[in-house]
Amino acid sequence: MKIIGLTGTIGSGKDVAREILEKKFNTVSVKLSDLLDYSSLKKRGINITRKIQQDLGDQLRQKYGTHVLAKIAIEFMKKNDNVKIIDGIRNPGEVDFLRQKFGEDFKLIAIDAPQQIRFERIVKRNRPTDPKNWEEFVAADERDQGKNQPEYGQQVKKCIEMSDVVIQNDGSLEEFTKKVEDAVKNLMQR
Give per-residue pLDDT as tens, 175-189: 999 999 999 999 888
Beta-carbon contacts of residue 111 (< 8 Å; ≥ 6 apart): 6, 7, 8, 9, 12, 13, 14, 17, 166, 167, 169
Per the CB < 8 A criterion, the answer to whether 113 and 168 are in contact is yes
Report residue 144's pLDDT band, with 50, 70 and 90 as the boundaries.
very high
33 vs 99 pLDDT, higher one:
99
Higher pLDDT, 133 or 52: 133
Whether the predicted pLDDT of 165 surpasses 70: yes
Computed over every residue of the chain, the mean pLDDT equals: 91
Residue 149 has pLDDT above 80, yes or no: yes
61-119 tens-digit pLDDT:
999 999 999 999 988 786 777 899 999 999 999 999 999 999 999 999 999 999 999 99
Residue 56 sits in which domain range?
A: 2-189
Is the pTM value of this prediction over 0.85?
Answer: yes
Residue 76 or residue 157, greater confidence: 157
- The residue-averaged pLDDT of 53-61 equals 89
Domain of residue 128, CATH code: 3.40.50.300
- For position 50, what pLDDT does the model report? 79
Q: What is the pLDDT at residue 54?
A: 86
pLDDT over 90 at 159, yes or no: yes
pLDDT value at residue 37: 67
Q: What would the mean pLDDT of 8-19 be, rounded to a whole number?
A: 96
Percent pLDDT > 90 in the chain is 72
How many structural domains compose the chain? 1
Q: How far, in Å, CA of 110 to CA of 169, rounded?
A: 10
CA gap 50, 52 in Å, rounded? 5
Contact 184, 25 (CB under 8 A): no
